[in-house]
Amino acid sequence: MNITLDIKREGRTPSRIAIDDVRASLPGLLEGHDPIVITDENIESLYPELLSPYRRITIGRGEENKTLDTVTLIYRRLMDMGADRSSYLLGIGGGIVTDITGFVASTYMRGTGFGFVATTLLSQVDASVGGKNGVNVDGYKNMAGCFNQPDFVVCDPSMLRTLPEREIKGGMAEVIKAGLIKSAGLFDKMEAGYDAVMNDAALLSDIIGEAIKIKAAVVEADFKEGGERKKLNFGHTIAHAIEKLSRRYIHGEAVAIGCVYEAELCRRLGAIGADDAARITAAIERLGLPTKCDIDDKSLFEALHLDKKRHGDKIALVILDSIGTSRVEEIGFGHLAELMEIR
């Protein structure tokens, strides 16, 4: 499958999303650049031939490395390598690598060019597309960050073959989220379940392409999250609280739980019916993802007070009016406490 999408960037050439074989597409995208690669230990061991032509900086795996300390270490390595504003950074990895690379490229010497090769399903359909770059502070997700789109993102579906099943399932949470907010048809395809999607290469490429197209269209319409882009946060309000309070769940698992939890809030608000809420839970279960967590509602509620989507005594929630149709509404914390049945 070879799909190319362009996302407009103000005052610059469009950001290109290429769903293609990385070895075929990368040389042309890097023409004129001698990139410094930022990657992690796992990618370094899996793709030595892909990385061998480039200078590189290798970071540790896992959310615990997505910090300002890691960013500072990369700055120092870049300085040691003589990198300047004309240097070019290439992030090859999953969402943590692309988030960190984008943040470093946007801030080192006030900005360098950069691109991504997204190697996980989650990074292909979500993290690397859209220009949000950030790191965590004291466990709170993406508290330091910026908006800056890469010059390109390469999404090669064949790279998913090296992923653990758990990570692929986690990426599917972002795909089903895209369907919930924007495409009933995509949601319908995801209802087939994990095995059906993974055993059908054409279907897998199709759902990756559709999820990317949804995010690309939303980002192009609302780059800095003034309104429409906030819909992409469905499931993430609860997910980020879960990730703050527990190391048990990877990001996609937290998003899956968040989608179920926030769908139930939509039901309690009267926006969707019990049948749709149950259908969402069942679809997520068929993808092999968790639908509940071991954190009590009061702790989740308290963690929401440090969410980036909070505005004073209100928080922006994504409300489903049906599967595939959504809107954003600010909910007061008092009302939210009632919906969550916090005593």
Enumerate the active-site residues: 110, 132, 174, 215, 225, 229, 233, 236, 240, 251
Letter string b/e over residues 273-302, b meaning 16 or more CB atoms within 10 A of that residue's CB: eeebbebbbebbebbbbbbebebeeeebbe
Distance in Å from the first CA to the final CA of the chain: 52
Helix (H) or strand (E) holding 331: strand 325-332
| Residue 228: C-alpha distances to residues 6, 39, 318, 331 (Å) | 19, 32, 10, 17
Yes or no: say if 276 and 263 are a contact pair by the CB < 8 Å rule.
yes
Cβ atoms of 126 and 215 closer than 8 Å: yes
- φ/ψ (deg, to 5) at 280: -65, -45
Q: With b meaning 16 or more CB within 10 Å and e meaning fewer, what string describes 82-96?
A: ebeeebbbbbbbbbb
Q: Do residues 135 and 67 make contact, with C-beta atoms less than 8 angstroms apart?
A: yes
In the beta sheet, which residues pair with residue 55? Answer: 36
- ∠110-112-115 over CA atoms, to 5°? 140
Q: What is the DSSP string of 82-105?
A: T--TT-EEEEEESHHHHHHHHHHH
CA–CA separation, 248 and 242 (whole Å): 9
Neighbours of 171 (CB within 10 A): 27
What's phi and psi for 318, nearest 5 deg? -90, 125
The percent helix, strand, coil of the chain (3-state, each to 5) is 50, 20, 25
